Amino acid sequence: MHKNIPLVVGITILFLGTCINPSVAIDNAKKATIPISSGNTLYVGGTGPGNYTKIQDAIDNASDGDTVFVYDDSSPYYENIIVDKSINLIGENKDTTVIDGRDLNNGVVFFTDGILLNGFTIRNCKTDPLDHCAGVRAYTNNSIINNNNICENGYNGIHLECSSKNNVISENYIAHNYRTGIIISKNSNSNFVFNNIIEYNDLDGSYGGGISLSSSFNNSVYNNSISNNYYGLIISDSFSIKIFNNTVISDYTRGLKISGGRENTILCNNFTGGTGIILRDTVDNLVINNTINRPSGHQREGVILTNASYNRIIGNKITKKYNGITFNRGSNGNIIEDNIIDSNYRNGIKLLDTGDCNVIVGNSICYNSIHGIYINESSRSIFCYNNINFNNGVGIYLVSNSNNNIINGNKFLRNLQGINISEYSGFNNNIFHNNFFENENKTYDEFNNYWDDGYPSGGNYWDDYTGEDVDGDGIGDTPYMISGGDNQDRYPLMFSYLNQGAPERPLIGGETNGKKGKEYNYTFVTTDPDNDKVYYYIDWGDNTSSGWIGPYSSGVVIQAHKWSNKGTYIIKAKAKDINGEESDWGTLTVIITRTRTTNMVWYQWFLEHFPLLEKLLGFIL
């Protein structure tokens, strides 16, 4: 074997060399393709014979399909341009080819279809709120506004209006415009806005902002960076708008406001800073998988619903806001599902003088500075299967005429108090099949409510219940008393209700390279979503196992083992809670050798990562 070591090393180096490739830079495909003109090219500026000195003169002499190319050596061009032909209008360099509107009118106006505008800085259009002038104002279909700087205009940056359809606005820098960066309005439908940088618009603080869509349908806004505008995005009286994959930073102001309209989709955006999302006088919107947070500084609301109904807010992460989600008056039939709502400065969810029949289901509502869910004058709603844990106040706090709500299947862990019903609060609330663990105070109820679902369905699980279950039906034989009045859980559960999930797959830690016959300690770590105690089953990979051991509290368990023979072993471990729910297997690979384990680490690493090399060396060794 020793004679073949040089050969082994040589083959290893050769094999490794074939597997490591230099990094290759791959250019991203441009989202907006610049058309290749089939017509003539007219030049503006520069030194060529017959070149024009004004952009408008070249456009006036062009035909459909032509290109007007503008050099930057005569920039800035003090013009207010009208494009009424299907041409390509291209600047030499977007930073140095400047169209200055002289504060007289719009910078560039499209009056026909199929126009490309690329490579300009467009600035200083007219400041006149009555005319709504813009750097680029378009009455057009199938046009492209790409790769421009549209800045410092007296009113708006880009304005598509009057049934402008199927246009692309992409890869522009749109900043420091007096009112709004991009407006799409008046039945302008099926347009695409993407890969733009839009910042510091609305210089007068008059409720303008980054992007505004009004009275329009089926527009898509995605992959934009929108920052430090009064509003990041405003959608008004529009429907089937798609807002996705944008980054919206809005310090003290608002990320997105939807007012009126319906059936809009807000997907996978990142809202950082001020109030994240406002839904007002709108229905049937989908808000899904967004991140809404504020790392530091002044706190605003996460999501606000006012007179907003039948919306679905699903899978969002809402952290470090004032309140995570706030319902105001007249908001009915909304579904709040599977969100992470934690570390907010007041409440996780707040329902204030709101409507009926909202559903709060499957959320993680944790670590909020006051209450998990605060319910004030809100009735006939359902709060089920939420994890309401580690809040500094009450898990669910009902006040002021909150009646006929259903609270079931929730987990309350380590809150100051689990549920509190007081302060002119509610009647006929149904509270059952919840699990209460380690709350400083379990419950308080001054009114007449129902704390169980009758027999044999049962009541709630209380970790401090001391009664017996003589007949073994899983329900305690004596009631659990609710403090604050005469209420009681007549049928307390002996075990947690509907275990809310199996333990996490165990993580295994310890030595991965060792010697035969030597004992090593290994750690096994899991957590159970119900805070149940867990058992472990450990398969050591050498035809020996621990069997089910435990139960243990969630956390670290240490077990020792040694192997009698050299080889590669896979430790497998799974966890099972006291309700019998089992986790997936966790694994750890351990290599046991006879001697010189440390010196052969490199060799074992190659065998693990390059199995073909192991077969090749097997023929030699």
Question: Could you tell me the CATH number of the domain that includes residue 210?
Answer: 2.160.20.10
435 and 459 in contact (C-beta within 8 Å)?
no
Residue 52, domain member (yes or no) = yes
137 and 110 in contact (C-beta within 8 Å)?
yes
Residue 118, CA distances (Å) to 88, 149, 230, 503 in order: 8, 10, 28, 56
Which CATH number does the domain housing residue 603 bear?
2.60.40.10
- State pTM to two decimals: 0.77
Q: What is the mean pLDDT of residues 449-477?
A: 96
Among 195, 212, 233, the domain-final residue is 233
Residue 99, domain member (yes or no) = yes
Beta strands at 81-83 and 41-44: parallel, antiparallel or unpaired: unpaired
Of 102-116, 122-136, 357-371, the one with minimum mean pLDDT is 122-136
Evaluate if residue 257 carries a pLDDT over 70: yes
Among 190, 212, 233, the domain-final residue is 233
Residue 250, domain member (yes or no) = no
Distance CA 566, CA 586 (A): 22
- Could you report the per-residue pLDDT of 578-590, keeping only the tens digit for each? 767 888 999 999 9
Of 111-115, 127-131, 607-611, the one with minimum mean pLDDT is 607-611
**What DSSP string runs through 380-430?**
S-EEES-EEES-SSEEEEEESS--S-EEES-EEES-SEEEEE-SS--SS-E
Residue 57, domain member (yes or no) = yes
Evaluate if residue 356 carries a pLDDT over 70: yes
Q: What is the band of 606 on the pLDDT scale with cuts at 50, 70, 90?
A: low
581 and 502 in contact (C-beta within 8 Å)?
yes
Q: What is the band of 251 on the pLDDT scale with cuts at 50, 70, 90?
A: low
Q: What is the mean pLDDT of the chain?
A: 88
503 and 576 in contact (C-beta within 8 Å)?
yes
182 and 198 in contact (C-beta within 8 Å)?
yes
Q: What is the mean pLDDT of residues 31-60?
A: 83
- Could you report the per-residue pLDDT of 411-443, keeping only the tens digit for each? 999 999 999 998 677 889 999 999 999 999 999
Instruction: Count how many residues are written for the chain.
Output: 621
Higher pLDDT, 541 or 251: 541
Residue 178, domain member (yes or no) = yes
Higher pLDDT, 579 or 155: 155
pLDDT at 221: 98
Residue 513, domain member (yes or no) = yes
Residue 320, domain member (yes or no) = no
pLDDT at 58: 98
Residue range of the domain that includes 542: 507-617
For the chain, what percent of residues have pLDDT higher than 90?
72
User: How many domains does the chain divide into?
Assistant: 2
Evaluate if residue 57 carries a pLDDT over 90: yes
Evaluate if residue 35 carries a pLDDT over 60: no
Q: What is the mean pLDDT of residues 46-72?
A: 96
Distance CA 300, CA 292 (A): 11
Residue 103, domain member (yes or no) = yes
Among 213, 233, 253, the domain-final residue is 233
427 and 403 in contact (C-beta within 8 Å)?
yes
- Could you report the per-residue pLDDT of 526-539, keeping only the tens digit for each? 888 767 778 899 99
pLDDT at 359: 94
Q: What is the band of 4 on the pLDDT scale with cuts at 50, 70, 90?
A: very low
pLDDT at 259: 96
